[in-house]
Amino acid sequence: MTSKVLVTGGAGFIGSHLVDRLLRDGHAVAVLDNLSTGRRENLADAGDRIEFVEGDIRDLETLRSAVAGVDTVFHQAALPSVPRSIKSPADSHAVNATGTLNVLIASRDAGVRRVVYASSSSVYGNSPELPKRETMPTAPLSPYAVSKLTAEQYCRVFHHVYGLETVALRYFNVFGPRQDPNSAYSAVIPKFIRILVEGRAPHIDGDGEQTRSFAFVENVVDANVRAAAAEGAPGEAFNIAGAERISINELDRTLRDLVPNAPSEPASHGDPRPGDVRHSYADLAKARDLLGYDVQTPLGEGLRRTVEWLAER
């Protein structure tokens, strides 16, 4: 069944891929983005098939207008990055926590059926228990993680108190085409690819033995679509990740095999980043059971496609 949907942060990396999928599925798509980290060129494939609103989720009245007549809100808008939040915790809170509260208030008042919220694996903190399960205690280590968990709790409360259907998806290290490799806060995969393409060796924070469950963006998009429809999902949080666990050192070696003429010079190492978790690996059983989620694109294929996309630029 097709409907009108809103994607907040729809000009961003993940949001724009979600917009493309929703259009292919036949939905009427509106996008709300303030273009602080999103870019209009990410929506080039969408063309004039979307309704684009340049606005900020910190403005409740803008949101009230954007959600009018909408069935589902895919709430991707956020101020990303742990280091950025450590530098400016108030900004992270205003966008990620208060902004999400605004999304929920506007959605509740407009009669939106469901809000699918982009949460983060950072809510688990540095617990040594692996894999990370949704039943584990949360222990955020950074203002970013606190803001994402606060918003997630607002989603749960709005479901239980007001009956608004909400689903939180805890993303684990999403990567893929359109991810900005040039930002001071860019994620490790696009940053490493850019450096290797330029013929330089990457710098690794810490000893490089920290591990991650990287999720290719198309898998994350599929999870969002499933979360919008699954009957048992409202009021719940789900891990969304890749199926494999890889260390940063192993990631460096893998990318060198994929990047033509990558340098042989070894990576340099420095101190660990403040707020970083040591190991991150997701248990996907709940997402499989209630959402029907599964990893469609494995890590190696996702990395290859990402290298090709970035190398062209």
| Active-site annotation, residues | 144
Using the structure block, give the residue that is written with the tokens 């393409």.
197
Distances (CA, A) of 49 to 34, 43, 94, 151, 218: 19, 10, 31, 30, 21
**Beta-strand (E) ranges in the chain?**
4-8, 28-33, 50-54, 72-75, 114-120, 165-171, 174-175, 203-205, 211-212, 215-216, 236-240, 246-247, 268-270
Question: What sign for the dihedral angle of Cα 51, 151, 183, 202?
Answer: negative
Closest alpha carbon to 241 in 216, 221, 261, 224: 216
What CA–CA distance (Å, rounded) separates 6 from 9? 10
By CB neighbour count within 10 A (0-12 exposed, 13-18 middle, 19+ buried), where does 256 fall? middle
